[in-house]
Amino acid sequence: MHFAPQVKKAIKAETCLFGTVDTWILWNLTGGAKGGKHYTDVTNASRTFLMNIELLTWDPLLLHTFKIPANILPEIKSSSEIYGRVARGFPLENVRISSILGNQQASLVGQRCLKEGQAKNTYRSGCFLLYNTGISKVQSTHGLVTTVAYKFGSKPAVYALEGSVAVAGAAMKWLRDNMGFMGDIQKETESLAQEVFNTGDVYFVPAFKGLYAPYWRKDARGIICGLTAFSTKQHIIRAALEAVCFQTRDILEAMNKDCGIPLTKLHVDGKMTVNSLLMQLQADISGMPVVRAQSQDITALGTAMAAGAAEGIKAWEIYSEERELVPSDTFLPTSTESGHLA
């Protein structure tokens, strides 16, 4: 904004609009320059570092600090309401658009972690844990981030604590691309790791990008230790899987300390969760049941649920626990002491 002359010129002419990706998509779908809606929702706005997460409005002090004019920003809406209709010329012409949710928040909704004290973890290139804190904004003292989980229409906003693992699935990619340990990650990782009963005292800290929550050490570097003449690639692969679980446990422990409500189970989704060994290791290392959604489209489901709520669709009752919306399987811990898993 301060280094692009064309942007400066547009701001002065009041023809510049700014927003996140959801804002751009909504604006285009609803007409673009011909009357497109310039909105965002509370979950996406909360990630800009410009929104007051208590008032759910753009923060004047932050805007002043970063020298951002308020008139270029989108109007902040709830995560579940009718924002507009798809404009002419699109395949879904005239269809109402009724939900906007951030990626991880949509997963939280799709997992139906809608009560205080429920949490989910999404396993992809990294891991992304959200813990529902209800209408309370818990200020973490253990290295977590306070964020907006969702807001359905006129109902109060629900908040969450978030912790991220920088490297999860990316460690498997590194073992494949840099070390040549496997070909197909999805097909070979689990079978190779199961060829050994433990890691043989090998430990892997995949801090390729430093360490995220709860440590926030950008200077951290990756290590593999405990190698002996008997160590094999199978031991290292299994250690990489355990590393994901240990980092997840660190965040879960921080969440329990911040909230004072111990988790009773962890809902999981994401591409890595097809690895049943990883899920069992996670249950063992965290000492709690791990509930794996069988659907790989939990994020999309969460957005659909929020859209349905805005439209008054009664295809499901999202707050009901009487029936399972998405089939799942549960991994129970076989040991509560991670030392037994080495």
38 pLDDT exceeds 70?
yes
56 pLDDT exceeds 90?
yes
- Top pLDDT among 12 and 194 is at 194
pLDDT tens for 264-276 read 999 999 999 999 9
- pLDDT confidence of 8, banded at 50, 70, 90? confident
* Predicted pLDDT at 324: 59
Q: What angle do CA 136, 138, 140 make, to 5 degrees?
A: 175
* Predicted pLDDT at 314: 67
- pLDDT confidence of 339, banded at 50, 70, 90? very low
204 pLDDT exceeds 80?
yes
**Helices (runs of H) and strands (runs of E) counted in the chain:** 10, 15
Q: Is 120 helix (H, G, I), strand (E, B) or coil?
A: strand
14 pLDDT exceeds 90?
no
Q: Is it true that domain 5-97 has CATH number 3.30.420.40?
A: yes
The ranges assigned to domains in the chain are: 5-97, 103-342
Q: What average pLDDT does the structure give for the chain?
A: 93
315 pLDDT exceeds 90?
no
* Same fold: 5-97 with 103-342: yes
pLDDT tens for 210-265 read 999 999 999 999 999 999 999 999 999 999 999 999 999 999 999 999 998 889 99
What's the average model confidence in pLDDT over 118-142? 97
325 pLDDT exceeds 70?
no
**54-58, 110-114, 153-157, 313-317: lowest mean pLDDT where?**
313-317
pLDDT tens for 60-105 read 999 999 999 999 999 999 999 999 999 999 889 999 999 999 999 9
pTM: 0.92
24 pLDDT exceeds 90?
yes
Query: Helix crossing, 233-259 with 185-193: angle to 10°?
Result: 90
For residue 268, with 0-12 CB atoms within 10 Å meaning exposed, 13-18 middle and 19 or more buried, which class applies? buried
Q: Please tell me the CATH code under which domain 103-342 is placed.
A: 3.30.420.40
Show the 3-state SS of 151-188: CECCCCCEEEEEEEECCCHHHHHHHHHCCCCCCCHHHH
* Alpha carbon distance 62, 52 (integer Å): 9
- pLDDT confidence of 342, banded at 50, 70, 90? very low
341 pLDDT exceeds 50?
no
3 pLDDT exceeds 90?
no
- pLDDT confidence of 316, banded at 50, 70, 90? low
* Predicted pLDDT at 323: 55
* Alpha carbon distance 202, 227 (integer Å): 6
